Amino acid sequence: MPFLTALKRVNLRQSISLPHNSIEQGRDPVADIVFYEKPGCTNGEKQKAILLAAGHNLLCIDILSYSWTRGKLLDFVEGKQPEEMMNHMAPAIKKGEIVPAHLSFAEAVEMMVAHPILIKRPLVEVDSMNIQGFMDSRLAPYLGDWSGADDVVTCPNQKTLSCDEQKRGAK
């Protein structure tokens, strides 16, 4: 696990109760996964719990404070339309200040590098793959016994204030 030495590894098992976690049962983890997240995101917490329950090691990185480059972001979004790769719950998009459908690919990438809140989450690095979004079919083999019945993608604040707006006390 050489990539874990450069960054602090987050041990989420201490804060998430997973009685059947294969790591805690003494089996080797299935994969080392880098999980770019917005800390405190309700769905991000659910997604991490699913990956941990499947026995994986997670290295969680704050997507908002990470130093993004165009090249690094392209690894996740190449070939997608702006509407597919941008976070529709970002305040500027939600308010209509940014309309992904009106952007070129290059404009969208430039905006996301400058303002990572615009990046659709999570971003996942696993087994030499760069995956954007939790429902990407390439992530399916890593989801363990998760049935997919629970919605862990749709923001629970979609029709109300975002998590950030709630923290600021916006109306």
Instruction: Tell me which residues are annotated as active site.
Output: 41
Scan for tokens 């994969």, then name that residue. 31
* SS3 state at 79: coil
* SS3 state at 92: helix
Surface-to-core class of residue 167, CB atoms within 10 Å of its CB (0-12 exposed, 13-18 middle, 19+ buried): exposed
Strand 129-132, strand 123-126: pairing: antiparallel
- As a whole number of angstroms, the distance between CA 131 and CA 136 comes to 7
The DSSP code for 51 is H
Q: What sign for the dihedral angle of Cα 73, 38, 42, 140?
A: positive
